[in-house]
């Protein structure tokens, strides 16, 4: 993956398509919420809002229609976009089959039976952190854990928003910190730093944030002492845990996510045949059902890729960059500018990997001019992009998480419980202001 150039003449109006998307999506959700519609932000598919933003690209930007189409398709067909779409399809098929044959319910029953209710939410957070850190994929971790987590929420009476937040926080912990995560790799490569140095730099903020989050979820779960009473009396078939165990084992082993999901789907098919749960055509129909469940997310990813390239080509991000650079007065303001730039771009694109690619070259120049180490600039890019990727309501991680809830939660209802991002942002901002927790750790290590 190479840096994406922030080209084109600086032009504020180049950002209009993204403003249209945000106004339509958030505006509709806020309006529906005010008039009392349940799951207000769940009513308008994000892909529809991005579709209107795509139309605006063709209406507002100058040039031949054929040139506009070429730019849009080039953006929509980016490697990262197509890769994500294929992963979403396989994830959807795997989840649909798991639910159909009872894998999700089996694992949920196991969780409720053997884990202290007050530690269930913290435990889900810990397991998701471990999986995402080891596998390097936030989406893959959500796919593996979310169906189980929501099933536990339904059976135990736990607030589904709280349990959804534990999955999201854990998934983005690994997305930020994992040595094999796209964001860690891209941020280190664009800044010319080693992956290990970026990991060490980010660890001083991510691990304390994760520890505080773990205990925060415990205290928020204090009233769950009777949660196990909700467990239905049913036999637990350990064979049905095999697909999830395979997903987790092969993910931790570093196997390619496509192979992992394919093996997971294959294992479910074999279990279905052996147990007589599903016939061949039923399996095929459920795979198709899983594909269709991910349609909105796939459409959103493709359209976002096209719109982002059109905005880059027409100088929208270059205008934003110039405005942010004009605010730099020293090292602290330079670090804030790097963080703000990648955050704003991620809010527009809803893809933190591409946001880092776009901001990478500029961030490296700002860091060099203001005596900021390459591992520090890479760490700032990585942390800020992951924070905002985890909280935006139309990000891939949030949409796929909400889809798994079957209407139990909305992107907005989860927000108050996303405490990990608050802790991480707090520690990073303190470090930029000179009150660095890293210095405290280093002080005690020298003792």
Closest Cα to residue 205, out of 384, 392, 395, 445?
A: 384
Give the rounded distance of the alpha carbon of 419 from its chain centre. 15
Direct distance between the N- and C-terminal alpha carbons of the chain, in angstroms, rounded to an integer: 42
**Cα 260 from Cα 134, distance rounded (Å):** 14
Residue 41 DSSP code: G
pLDDT per residue as tens, the chain (447 positions) = 445 555 567 788 888 998 898 888 888 888 887 887 766 666 788 788 889 999 999 998 888 988 899 999 998 888 877 887 887 788 788 878 877 877 766 766 666 566 677 788 998 998 888 878 866 678 878 887 888 888 888 877 889 999 999 999 999 998 888 876 778 878 888 888 888 888 888 999 999 999 999 999 998 876 555 455 544 445 567 787 788 788 777 766 767 778 888 888 898 888 887 776 677 888 888 889 888 887 887 888 889 889 888 888 888 878 877 887 788 888 889 999 999 989 988 888 777 887 887 788 788 888 988 999 999 999 999 999 999 999 998 888 898 898 888 888 988 889 999 999 999 999 999 999 887 676 666 655 555
Tokens of residue 114, six digits = 């053997």
pLDDT of residue 1: 47
The full 3-state SS of 319-380, as one line of letters, equals: HHHHHHHCCCCCHHHHHHHHHHHHHHHHHHHCCHHHHHHHHHHHHHHHHHHCCCCHHHHHHH
The pLDDT assigned to 388 comes to 94
Residues 6 or more apart from 68 whose CB is under 8 A from it?
57, 58, 61, 310
- Asked if residue 272 lies in contact with residue 38, where contact means CB atoms within 8 angstroms, the answer is no
How high is the pLDDT of residue 269? 86
Per-residue pLDDT at 233? 47
Q: pLDDT value at position 231?
A: 46
Encoding tokens for residue 223? 């009233």
pLDDT at 224: 56
Check: CB of residue 102 under 8 Å from CB of residue 271.
Answer: no
What pLDDT was estimated at residue 256? 74
What's the confidence (pLDDT) of residue 73? Answer: 92
In contact, 145 and 279? CB cutoff 8 Å: no
**CA–CA distance, 348 with 50 (Å, rounded to integer):** 11
State whether the Cα torsion 379-381-382-384 is positive or negative. Answer: positive
Per-residue pLDDT reduced to its tens digit, 196-255: 888 888 999 999 999 999 999 998 876 555 455 544 445 567 787 788 788 777 766 767
Give dist(CA 203, CA 122) in Å, integer. Answer: 20
Tokens 């080039």 correspond to 74
Tell me if 141 sits within 8 A of 171, measured CB to CB.
Answer: yes
Rounded distance, CA 443 to CA 447, Å?
7
Give the chain's largest Cα–Cα span.
69
In 3D space, the residue among 409, 411, 410 whose CA is nearest the CA of residue 393 turns out to be 411
Q: Where are the alpha helices (DSSP H) in 115-241?
A: 120-135, 138-156, 160-177, 182-191, 195-220
Q: What stretch of H or E contains 157?
A: none
């Amino acid at each position: 993956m190479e840096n994406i150039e922030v080209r084109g003449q600086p032009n504020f109006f180049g950002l209009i398509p993204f403003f249209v998307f945000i106004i339509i999506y958030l505006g509709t959700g806020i309006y529906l919420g005010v008039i009392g519609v349940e799951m207000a932000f769940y009513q308008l598919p994000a892909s529809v809002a991005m579709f209107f933003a795509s139309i605006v690209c063709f209406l507002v930007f100058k040039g031949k229609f054929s040139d506009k189409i070429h730019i849009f398709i080039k953006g929509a067909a980016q490697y990262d976009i197509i890769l994500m779409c294929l992963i979403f399809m396989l994830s959807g098929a795997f989840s649909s089959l798991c639910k159909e044959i009872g894998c999700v319910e089996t694992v949920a029953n196991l969780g409720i039976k053997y884990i202290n209710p007050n530690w269930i939410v913290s435990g889900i957070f810990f397991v998701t952190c471990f999986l995402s850190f080891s596998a390097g994929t936030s989406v893959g971790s959500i796919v593996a854990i979310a169906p189980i987590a929501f099933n536990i929420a339904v059976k135990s009476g736990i607030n589904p928003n709280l349990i959804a937040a534990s999955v999201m926080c854990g998934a983005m912990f690994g997305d930020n910190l994992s040595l094999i995560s796209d964001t860690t790799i891209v941020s280190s490569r664009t800044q010319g730093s080693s992956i290990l140095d970026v990991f060490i730099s980010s660890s001083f903020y991510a691990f304390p944030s994760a520890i505080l989050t773990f205990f925060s979820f415990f205290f928020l779960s204090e009233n769950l002492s009777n949660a196990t009473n909700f467990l239905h009396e049913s036999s637990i078939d350990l064979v049905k845990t095999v697909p999830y165990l395979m997903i987790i084992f092969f993910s931790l082993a570093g196997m390619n996510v496509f192979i992992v999901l394919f093996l997971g789907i294959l294992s479910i098919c074999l279990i279905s045949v052996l147990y007589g749960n599903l016939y061949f055509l039923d399996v095929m129909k459920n795979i198709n059902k899983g594909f269709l469940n991910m349609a909105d997310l796939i459409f959103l990813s493709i359209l976002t890729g096209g719109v982002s390239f059109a905005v880059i080509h027409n100088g929208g991000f270059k205008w934003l960059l110039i405005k942010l650079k004009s605010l730099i007065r020293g090292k602290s303001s330079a670090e804030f500018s790097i963080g703000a730039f990648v955050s704003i771009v991620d809010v527009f694109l809803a893809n933190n990997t591409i946001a880092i690619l776009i901001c990478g070259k500029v961030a490296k120049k700002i860091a060099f001019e203001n005596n900021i180490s390459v591992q520090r600039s890479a760490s700032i890019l990585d942390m800020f992009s992951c924070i905002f990727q985890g909280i935006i309501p139309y990000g891939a991680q949030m949409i796929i998480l909400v889809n798994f809830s079957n209407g139990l939660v909305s992107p907005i209802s989860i927000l108050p419980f996303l405490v990990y991002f608050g802790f991480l942002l707090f520690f990073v901002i303190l470090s930029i202001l000179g009150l660095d927790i890293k210095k405290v750790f280093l002080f005690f290590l020298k003792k």
